[in-house]
Chain A
């Protein structure tokens, strides 16, 4: 039981990461397969090469899909776009749908 309880959240997190990757690739029309996005690579600038227009687009996407409103204030928020993993963790913690 303990083992199950500890692996389930990890599986959920991984599923959310790949779901987000799929959504981002489709919404931004990226020519990178979603599965090839390194969950730990930077989303902004170098790394995946997203810019501020994309970030606003992703903000729109997580608002529609998960009911999460991103904000610039708060220490945790500065890290949201550090990587796909950070974004997924933030969405998991704040999703309302």
Chain B
């Protein structure tokens, strides 16, 4: 059974150990997680024909965690059959077959990376490049070294960095992006520079992959077959297909017809930084849990953003006499994923609560003054 935690903060690891006391870390490199380690051996070359084991489709093979709204990570059980059913549809749509070589810039321990760099090769017979390059120059070199057809599995953040690479990019037969929405302009630019089509995947930890779109051409997403979207009490729910149960989606979704929808961003309270999702309520709860913090709130700085901004961050304001910003940051580091460390963190005498004690996001944003100057 695999456990895929939302982050590796000490608090999450503590929770993981109480969820599964016999948890251990299977790793092929030194790792500082506070759980027993098992070093993955280098396997000798397999000479005999390898028999792929048959796994019961109903067997739970993984728990994928979301960060939850109360401070406790929430496990989502995944059965083998439904995971594979989902990625097989992905393989059909993306036309990834046994002759395809995959290169991923995303790690395998979150849902997108798990599906696209672990399950997809298993289900389609394609080959995954052992390297997971980070810098644009390394991505180019690794991609160039692969036989075609070759597929780049990446994110908008990596694509944006790759578009700034000054030299010719190696051709890719397909570029797959997920974690946060890709702009049409970036998708078009990527298609020109890589001389291949861009396909974007929409999904979540709870649901796995749900839809794809040809981002350079069309704003509408096409659902996986058998998945239906329904509007209930102001939230859009997905059900059917490979889903284990009906699931409320965290995005503002406008269904167009039975098969297509538009995505209008995250619901107001939710944040997504490079595919890591959380909620302002959860982050605020963690901030308020720090001894010495009397009042505090997380908020999203800035309103409308430029067409191709750097990754958006979240900000926070706190009333904490006696604590420095560094103290609060250090305490948060043990509680939340570091991507959600506030930027900036404002220390105030009191928060701009209105007469009813509410704290409008606009009032918090106003504390920041004019937006920061753009990247040169």
List the interface of chain A (C-beta within 8 A of B).
23, 26-31, 45-46, 49, 51-53, 55-57, 59-61, 63-65, 67, 69-73
Contact = CB atoms under 8 A, between A and B. Distances in A.
Contacts of A70: 135, 137
Contact of B135 (A45, A49, A69): A69
Residue from A45, A51, A52, A53 whose CB has the most chain B CB atoms within 10 Å = A53
Given A51-B338, A53-B274, A67-B166, A27 B138 contact: no
Contact of B138 (A49, A60, A64, A72): A72
B372 A26 contact: yes
Contacts, number: 75
Contacts of B148: none
29 contacts: A27-B375, A27-B376, A29-B301, A30-B343, A31-B343, A31-B345, A31-B346, A46-B333, A49-B338, A51-B338, A53-B274, A53-B311, A55-B134, A56-B157, A56-B158, A57-B161, A57-B311, A59-B136, A59-B161, A60-B160, A61-B375, A63-B136, A63-B164, A63-B166, A69-B137, A69-B165, A70-B135, A70-B137, A71-B137
A63 B167 CA distance: 11
A30 B310 CA distance: 13
A51 B339 contact: yes
B42 interface: no
B28 to A, nearest CB: 17
B373 interface: yes
A52 B8 CA distance: 14
Contacts of B273: 53
Interface in B147-167: 157-158, 160-161, 164-166
B344 interface: yes
B213 interface: no
Given A29-B344, A53-B339, 15 more contacts: A26-B373, A27-B375, A31-B344, A49-B329, A49-B338, A49-B341, A51-B339, A53-B274, A56-B134, A57-B311, A59-B136, A60-B164, A63-B165, A64-B376, A70-B135
A29 B138 contact: no
Nearest to B343: A29
B166 A73 contact: no
Contacts of A55: 134
Nearest to B135: A70
Contacts of A30: 343-344
B81 interface: no
Nearest to B141: A71
A71 B138 contact: yes
A17 B338 CA distance: 25
B287 to A, nearest CB: 15
Given A57-B310, A69-B137, A64 B339 contact: no
Given A51-B339, A53-B273, A73 B161 contact: no
B138 A56 contact: no
A29 B376 CA distance: 13
